[in-house]
Structure 1
Amino acid sequence: MNDGFDFDFDLDELAPADAASEEAVERFWSGDLTALSQHHTTPNGSHSFVVAHDRSVTWGAPGEPQVMAIAVARDLTRFTFTLETSYHATMSFAQNWLVERGCPPEKIAKVHGGFAKPADDLTAWVERQIRESGGRYEVLDNHTSDSDPNESWTLTRDSRAAEAPIRVFHEEWDQDADTYTMREGAFADVDVARSWLDDRSSPLPEPPEYRDDNGAVVRARVARIALARSASVSAPKASLDSPRTPPAGPVQRPVQGRLL
């Protein structure tokens, strides 16, 4: 896995626990992957959770999701393992998928240094909301563009929304600043949401809860995110789980997990 240091799932002495895991191993190749975030359980290393960017997707069909979530569970008493993978348009939905499989959200939220950062506190709050949402959002469609415009969007149905349940999460990257923004839009139905995605002649409509009494809750949560982000700037940076010495090589310029 090309993530700045060697990474091994340590499966050599283990056998696939089921046919799905065996198939996943056979088609899995790490050569085009760049790890963005990862967490490994200790001390026995029974689970591994990884979010990675798959560069090979950029050579395939336009619009396909490029962020891969990888979950490995090892049964060290039976010497077997399960391996699952899933593609997503954004880091936060990939992280959500891993959290649903047992990864602590605060662990997988730590993104590899050197990648694009959230441009503002609202972006960080929306990402956290997605990451910790459980099964709240049913993903209906997504699209990724790494040319003009540099963006991705995920079309979802919000099971908790009393009004405008179709939600669009729109992520846009600023290559010059190495930052990105994430915004949530609310629509009455899928057709209206798709019309906005096709047209873009009006601003992304805010969810009703941003404007009603719950808006104060949203603002308070964003403020807490701002305080935490401010504190983290002055704190020493923590290393990735089990870091290793990076090999010598050219420096690549990353943009939200995409190496250009």
Structure 2
Amino acid sequence: MNDGFDFAFDFDLDGLAPADAASEEAVERFWSGDLTALSQHHTTPNGSHSFVVTHDQSATWGIPGAPQVMAIAVARDLTQFTYTLETSHHATVPFAQNWLVERGCPPEKIAKIRDDLVKPADDLTLWVERQIRESGTLYKVLDNHTSDSAPCETWTLTRDSRADQAPIRVFHEEWDHDAGTYTMREGAFADVGAARAWLDDRSGPLPEPPEYSDHNGAVVRARIALARSAGASAAPKADLVTPRTPPAVPVHRPVQGRLP
């Protein structure tokens, strides 16, 4: 796979016609876009489906704070010589991956990111990302924001349908371009107003979700840390079943960077 995003080559649409107006319009938008593939999976042997996560460089020229990660799902009907194409923008890669998993992509396939991109800074980042990727419809996204300048970060404001306490969750990703790493953290709030207040003033640390703590309020560190060499997708999916407890990791300063 090359660094650029060659739509016709990657999706093999030669000889196929769009099945509907939405698919036709989506293809037309790509010709004026500037997409770089971050992760992709193409089904075999018949190649009926393609799932791709891309960085949409054109989003940086538009509305400030707009999401820059695009998920693309293609379904080909090789008997009718047609295809359907869906797209969805997200602030972070795990939410784009989640959208594709919900459309039939195996999570362990789309979890594999290009080797030349920035790396997760720690095992907790891997764990939070995998939690998002395999969460199904657990999180309803309410808002998001992407910043290319200091602080280089994204945040996604969500409602956790499973949480009895502090159901509003903020997923905060921050990049360190110099180190070539990034962190992802999850914060919990009683309501949207409290979450937005934290995002506006950052007067304290991101509050940990209640399920990160035991009955005494101490942070649970009983979970074995995920091996970075294996990656987050190597752990059994059952590990995400309640109670959700993060792996033991050293404390890291917030960090910043997606594309090198």
Give TM-score, length-normalised by structure 2.
Answer: 0.84
Structure 2 residue 194 is the aligned partner of structure 1 residue 192: yes
- Confirm or deny that 1:93 pairs with 2:95: yes
Q: Hey, what does 1:154 align to over in structure 2?
A: 156
Which residue does the alignment assign to 2:43? 41
Residues 48 and 119 of structure 1: CA distance in aligned 2, closer, same or farther (over 3 Å): same
Q: Which moved more, 1:101-110 or 1:14-23?
A: 14-23
* 1:156 and 1:166 in contact (8 A); partners too: yes
Residue in 2 that maps onto 1:140 = 142
| Partner SS, residue 212 of structure 1 | coil
What corresponds to 1:207 in structure 2?
Answer: 209
Q: Which residue number in structure 2 is paired with residue 258 of structure 1? A: 259
Change in CA separation of 1:256 and 1:108 when aligned onto 2, cut-off 3 Å: farther
Query: Structure 2 matches for 1:204-243, cutoff 5 A?
Result: 204-212=206-214, 219=221, 221=223, 223-225=224-226, 227=227, 229-231=228-230
Alignment of 1:14-93 (within 5 A): 14-29=16-31, 32-93=34-95
SS at match of 2:186: strand
CA RMSD in angstroms, aligned pairs only: 2.3
Q: CA deviation at 1:23?
A: 1.8
Provide the rounded CA distance (Å) in 2 between the counterparts of 1:218 and 1:38.
35
Residues in 2 aligned to 1:131 and 1:107: alpha-carbon distance in whole angstroms: 11
Q: Deviations over 1:211-233 (max 9, x none)?
A: 136x9997455x252x3x2457x
Whether the 8 Å contact between 2:175 and 2:258 is mirrored in structure 1 is no
Instruction: Give the Cα–Cα distance (whole angstroms) in 2 for the partners of residues 160 and 191 of structure 1.
Output: 20
Q: Per-residue displacement from partner, 1:16-75 (whole Å, max 9, x unpaired)? A: 112221221222237511110000001111111000101111111110000010000101
Provide the rounded CA distance (Å) in 1 between the counterparts of 2:218 and 2:80: 51
Output the amino acid matched with 1:45.
Answer: G
- In 1, the alpha carbon distance for the partners of 2:165 and 2:120 equals 28
Q: What percent identity do the matched residue pairs reach?
A: 81
Per-residue deviation, 1:80:
1.0
* 108, 111, 117: which one aligns with 2:110: 108
Instruction: Give the Å deviation of 1:163.
Output: 0.5
Deviates more, 1:11-20 or 1:67-76: 11-20
SS, match of residue 182 in structure 1: strand
Change (3 A) 1:231 1:84: closer
Matched, 1:119 2:118: no
Q: 1:189 to 1:5 in 2, by over 3 A?
A: closer
Opposite residue 3 of structure 1, the aligned amino acid is: D
Contact between 1:3 and 1:33, CA under 8 Å: does it hold in 2?
Answer: no
Runs of 4+ in structure 1 displaced over 6 angstroms?
215-218
Aligned residues: 234
* Contiguous gaps of at least 5 residues in structure 1: 233-254
